[in-house]
Structure 1
Amino acid sequence: MEVSPMSNRVAYALLLVFLLIGFGLGYMTKGGEGVTTVTKTETVTSAVSQATGLSGEVYIGALLPLTGPLGSFAENDMVVLKLAEKDVNDWLEQIGAKWRVKVLFEDTALDPKQALDKVQALHSRGVKIFIGPMASSEVKEVKGYADANKLLMISQSSTSPALAIPNDMIYRFCPPDEFQGAASARATFDLGVRYVVAVWRGDAWGDGLVDSYERAFTKLLGDSGEKGEVLGKGNGKGIRYDPDTKEFTTIASQLANIVKELVREHGADKVGVYYAGFGEYVQFVAAASQYEVLWKVRWIGSDGTALLGDIQTNEKAAKFSYETKFISPMFGTPSPLQERIASEVKRQLGRLPESYAYASYDALWLVAVALNMVDEYDPVSVAKVLPSLTQRWYGATGVFKLNENGDRAFSDYMFWMVVPSDGKYEWKLAGGYSYETGSVTWTDEFLKLIGRK
């Protein structure tokens, strides 16, 4: 059932009352060092003017890779952030606030240097709070500037464990990749694969994710006593490619040779490919699909490919993904708000949004509630409020809390697959991973696809 805008506003108004009662006069710091009393100054600087308390438009920067390999994710997030902006401003009007939120969008093109340039440009206009960047390589690039200038960055999708740092100005509303690595390793193991060739994007995100996956899969092998191996980063046997790679003929040939030998030794049902990349998967598959042996083994993806619009709309990539039973994980737990948000994205873009879009929605709401509480455009004050605020929050990404590093502390995962639908292809749910139990439950549709039902 779709939630009406009015019922949404009432729900969030009631939530704010609960939060204010729960907070009393203090808030928790990011590192959890204790409760600090909030002291408000009478005159504050907003993004547009100086006034007593917040008034007028308060700017929030949105750093999205609208062009580049994550373009479809960024388009989803833009739609959702515009929806969140409207919902927040409707709520602010209802409670009689004198200020409104205004999201300023900038294209980072998935280029770390361009991301930093955009941060600096928006900062020169008075922007001090940002949603994004999306990629860990971008976050890594802007982190020094953000910390030095006390700018608050809330990334909806940066997951590199290398950026899990306490007491900085970077918050991440998604879990670090230790959790995704464990989920994907368990799924791979449950599917009967014991020998995995890792192929990954050679940046902060890809390196960290493959490390996490290797550790988790190796532990599963050790616990089970079965033979197997990840040909990856740790042993130097995997395939790491430059993020700027546009043509994958050589890499696909290298992969085919490795897989062919593994299949000869262990059989196709024991061999899999773990792919950690973004939208360049489409170009990679164009080359990989030329090798028959690569159609015969299981493929496991990452959150960089889950629900990616470029895959479902590319005939060759979609067909290859369907035939190889390619599955990709995305963090998240269903929540009532997701239906309304997903409906808006599907109406405008014709596809389902990824979980990062839901995290963007929550990020703007949480920033708005925090700003209303501290009543000043001060990123440091907002940052101090966020850890306690998230513990009392139930939004588009469900219930969550931040750990000592300012990252989402834990999460379940959903696995997605590409299937034919009315002459086209669409993403469908294949299964779910429980963080609490460490197990995967597959949907009947996926079990039928792989011949287990």
Structure 2
Amino acid sequence: MRGLFGLAAAIIIIVFVSGCMQTGEKTAAEAEVKEVEIPVGVLVDLSGPLTTYGWDIKTATTIAGEDVNKKFAEDGKPYRVKLYIEDTGADPKKALDTVMALQAKGVKLIVGPMSSGELKSVSEYSRSNKIILASPSSTAETKYIGVTAPEEKKFIFRFVPTDSFQTKGIAELTHELGVKAVVITYTGNAWGKGLEEFGREEFEKQGVEVKTSVEYPNPPPADFTPYIATLEENVNTLLKDYSRDEIAVVVFSYEEVATMLAQTKDSSVLLDVKWVGCDGTAKSSKIIEDVPEKASRIKLFSTVSETKGGEDFDKLNTTYYQQIGNSPQGYGLNSYDATWVLALSFAEVYDKEGKYNADAMAEAMPGMAEEYSMGNYGVYPVSGEVKFNEYRDRIGSRYIIYAVSDGNWNANGVWEFATNRVEWS
């Protein structure tokens, strides 16, 4: 009897242990199944005219992905961001090809593209396939990206204010600099054309004469000398009525300004007047690496939407500095916040519906951005308050004014949208 009892007991123990093991295996398998990947494409320029800003966005977005995943893990959430970083070279066709390739991999959320020309190229495909785009740096007015009504831009969010804000700041800046007449040169894409149109209007409101506007092709030409000659001719004409301190060359351009300056002769009249740039030139490393003396001579006052500060910016800045050796710039800050808003919106919709829903997420993102801005998820934006207008474009507030001196970019002041005033530092 004792033998039979012992045998029975042994069988019970084996069955119990086996059951526990099976239960443990099932729990582990269930845990593995429950993990939900959030695939996020990142479209950046790492080889074209926006490389300074592209590498900034890549670095900041990578850090954002790590921080988001850490937060989800701490909160016991099953979501994990996976980034697909792609170089578009700021080329509209390549941007569209890349979005299509990412969609084939199941990627429905994208940080980017960077330029307005690229955004215009992918906007229809985004709408048709319900791919949510969160651009950290496209600033062209809506009509220049092929949008005429808010519902056409349902899946496109821009985490940067449009040029209707920036051109007001640029016009006030030129006025503050004592400029009374300008010649404009601009890249012939959606972004450049929008800046020229809105800029011309704002200059005229300030009583600043616009002598001419000189468009050059996009992608930019290798030889800028014909365009330089036209600018020189018009500046010389203005010198009949204005002093050199009252004239400026306005460049609505990307980092090709470095090539333009390199091809401008030291004796050129263009180097004797002020130059005013924009967010396409502000803090460009290529400009100060290639033409530091000429850039210092003309100053190249440039504006960029940039708001930062607070404990969460300090954390990002520390990590970024350890990796790169400098601080994140405005578009990098925007991309960091865009990654957070995309991930939090995805998680909110998935929690409710048990699946990804593009329409629900597009509707949730504006509210999520405001919740995120108030710190309701235990983290605050590093680029300031994130709030969108009816076109899902960020509402602007301030632009930092940078200029080159002694071969380096330095902050010279701030233009505040609320007051339309420049405060010099």
The answer to whether TM tops 0.5 is yes
Question: In the alignment, is residue 273 of structure 1 matched against residue 257 of structure 2?
Answer: no
Structure 2 match to 1:92: 72
Alignment of 1:64-213 (within 5 A): 64-161=44-141, 162=143, 163=145, 165-167=149-151, 168=153, 169-213=155-199
Structure 2 match to 1:326: 300
| 1:257 CA displacement | 1.4
Matching residue's letter, 2:82: K
| 1:369 CA displacement | 1.1
The answer (yes or no) to whether the contact 1:289–1:320 under 8 Å persists in 2 is: no
Moved more, 348-357 or 358-367: 348-357
The answer (yes or no) to whether the contact 2:184–2:214 under 8 Å persists in 1 is: yes
Mapped to 2, the partners of 1:181 and 1:402 lie a distance apart of 19
| 1:339 CA displacement | 3.7
Alignment of 1:56-67 (within 5 A): 56-67=36-47
The answer (yes or no) to whether the contact 2:38–2:343 under 8 Å persists in 1 is: no
Mapped to 2, the partners of 1:346 and 1:293 lie a distance apart of 40
Structure 2 match to 1:442: 424
Q: Could you report, residue by residue, the CA deviation over 1:363-410 in whole angstroms, capped at 9, with x for unpaired residues?
A: 001111111211133332221111112223330111131000000022
Q: Could you report, residue by residue, the CA deviation over 1:271-313 in whole angstroms, capped at 9, with x for unpaired residues?
A: 1011011111110111124443112111100100111121122
Alignment of 1:294-373 (within 5 A): 294-314=270-290, 316=291, 318-336=292-310, 337-373=312-348
Distance change >3 Å, CA 407–CA 111, structure 1 → 2: same
Question: In the alignment, is residue 412 of structure 1 matched against residue 398 of structure 2?
Answer: yes
The answer (yes or no) to whether the contact 1:154–1:363 under 8 Å persists in 2 is: yes
Matching residue's letter, 2:422: V
Mapped to 2, the partners of 1:188 and 1:155 lie a distance apart of 28
Structure 2 match to 1:391: 370
The answer (yes or no) to whether the contact 1:256–1:291 under 8 Å persists in 2 is: no
Distance change >3 Å, CA 400–CA 56, structure 1 → 2: closer
2:413 to 431, 435, 453: 431
Alignment of 1:2-81 (within 5 A): 55-81=35-61
The answer (yes or no) to whether the contact 1:63–1:106 under 8 Å persists in 2 is: yes
Mapped to 2, the partners of 1:114 and 1:384 lie a distance apart of 29
SS in 2 for 1:397: coil
Q: What residue ranges of structure 1 are gaps of 5+ in the alignment? A: 1-50, 222-227, 232-236, 444-453
Mapped to 2, the partners of 1:192 and 1:144 lie a distance apart of 43
Structure 2 match to 1:45: none
Mapped to 2, the partners of 1:73 and 1:149 lie a distance apart of 28
Alignment of 1:200-279 (within 5 A): 200-221=186-207, 228-231=208-211, 237-244=212-219, 245-279=221-255
| 1:190 CA displacement | 0.9
TM-score of the superposition, structure 2-length normalised?
Answer: 0.85
Mapped to 1, the partners of 2:382 and 2:203 lie a distance apart of 31
| 1:345 CA displacement | 3.9
Matching residue's letter, 1:78: K
The answer (yes or no) to whether the contact 1:131–1:154 under 8 Å persists in 2 is: yes
SS in 1 for 2:200: helix
Structure 2 match to 1:17: none
Moved more, 331-340 or 343-352: 343-352
The answer (yes or no) to whether the contact 1:58–1:377 under 8 Å persists in 2 is: no
**Greater fraction of residues in helix:** 2
Q: Could you report, residue by residue, the CA deviation over 1:250-277 in whole angstroms, capped at 9, with x for unpaired residues?
A: 1112111111221232110111011011
The answer (yes or no) to whether the contact 2:402–2:413 under 8 Å persists in 1 is: yes
Q: What residue ranges of structure 2 are gaps of 5+ in the alignment? A: 1-30, 374-380
Q: How many residue pairs get matched?
A: 376
SS in 1 for 2:240: helix
| 1:418 CA displacement | 1.9
| 1:53 CA displacement | 10
